[in-house]
Amino acid sequence: MVGKYTRMANAIADLAKSSGKPPILFSLCQWGREQPWLWARRLGQSWRTTEDIGKFQYFAQSSLISNRNCVSSGPDWGALRSIINQNSFISWASDFYGHNDMDILEVGNGDLTFDEAKSHFTAWALMKSPLLISTDLSVATEQTLEILKNKEIIAINQDPVVGTGITPFRWGINPDWSNNFTHPAQYWSGESQNGTLFMLLNVLDEPADMFFNLTESPWIRAGRQYSVRDLWAHTDNGTAVRNFTAHQVPRHGVVALLMKDAGDEPAGLDPPCARLEWCMDQNGTRIDNINF
């Protein structure tokens, strides 16, 4: 596969050189079967990571379940959660120099509910997958257009300062770093030019409260409070101190947040930080090791 796509990449480079024009975008597709996230960035700009989006009928072979044992007939929630699960382990590979391609967007197609389509668009955008619309826009519903035209979500995907996407910091239903195509990672975070991103994905078949400590994200500083922007409601929702709860997230639904540093935590909180081992005095000493 590397040899095959090297020939294509060389042909593109030769054409650009002979014509004096910029090279075309090269999007590789061999469905992730040879781990292109490890080598494809030297040849092109994006690479498919999984099988095509489809309505998946799964067949278990002992404990091994793979998209290669499936029949595809149109997008549904099962397809989305499987692709999110598989990409959760390689989300680090997307940056300015190349992108995990999670396949074309199916917003407005198939059997997806409004909340499932929002989850689909949010995960693809915040994981920095290319956003390729497959919907017939001439008959698209207002709900479909509302999703596809979310400028705040698109701005994260197109961030000119931070190229990397979000990654999981907690799986939720399953032990961290465990493979489960029905219940992918639920708690995600990442950087942006304007603050720290959080994606909360409810993989359950019923509404659920979703709680996390801010410092579970590596991009959050202990001892600080953060303003909260809801990227779907397009509202500023006050300030979060130490933790956050999203109440009654719809089944298969999503919450997308942008949090910005809003200064020191309010005075008088005890203990002085949510996690003492991460709480440092100005001189670099851990707070819990100081003899007051």
Query: What was the pLDDT predicted at 55?
Result: 59
Six-digit token string for 18: 């002979």
pLDDT-based confidence at 291, cuts 50/70/90?
low
- The mean of the pLDDT values for the chain is 90
Domain-embedded: residue 275: no
CA dihedral 154, 160, 162, 167 (to 10 degrees): 20
* CA atoms of 53 and 49, how far apart (whole Å): 11
Lowest-pLDDT range, 49-63, 69-83, 158-172?
49-63
pTM of the model: 0.89
Query: What was the pLDDT predicted at 61?
Result: 31
Six-digit token string for 99: 């992108």
pLDDT, tens digit (0-9, with 9 covering 90-100), for 226-281? 999 999 999 999 999 999 999 999 999 999 999 999 999 998 888 777 777 777 77
Q: How many residues does the chain have?
A: 292
Domain-embedded: residue 18: no
- Signed CA dihedral, 133, 49, 171, 277: sign only: negative
Domain-embedded: residue 135: yes
128 in Cβ contact with 165 (< 8 Å):
yes
Domain-embedded: residue 54: yes
- Cα–Cα distances in angstroms (integers) from residue 99 to residues 42, 96, 141, in the given order: 12, 8, 29
pLDDT-based confidence at 69, cuts 50/70/90?
very low
Domain-embedded: residue 167: yes
* CA atoms of 235 and 217, how far apart (whole Å): 22
pLDDT above 70 (res 63): no
pLDDT-based confidence at 142, cuts 50/70/90?
very high
Domain-embedded: residue 187: yes
Query: What was the pLDDT predicted at 272?
Result: 77
Higher pLDDT among residues 241 and 73, named by residue: 241
Give residue 208's domain range.
Answer: 49-264
125 in Cβ contact with 153 (< 8 Å):
yes
pLDDT, tens digit (0-9, with 9 covering 90-100), for 90-135? 999 999 999 999 999 999 998 899 999 999 999 999 999 999 999 9
Burial class (CB in 10 A: 0-12, 13-18, 19+), 22: exposed
CATH number where 70 lies: 2.60.40.1180
Domain-embedded: residue 174: yes
How many domains does the structure of the chain reveal? 1
pLDDT, tens digit (0-9, with 9 covering 90-100), for 178-211? 999 999 999 999 999 999 999 999 999 999 999 9
Q: Which of 265, 258, 282 is nearest to 221 (CA)?
A: 265
- Signed CA dihedral, 102, 106, 111, 115: sign only: positive
Domain-embedded: residue 76: yes
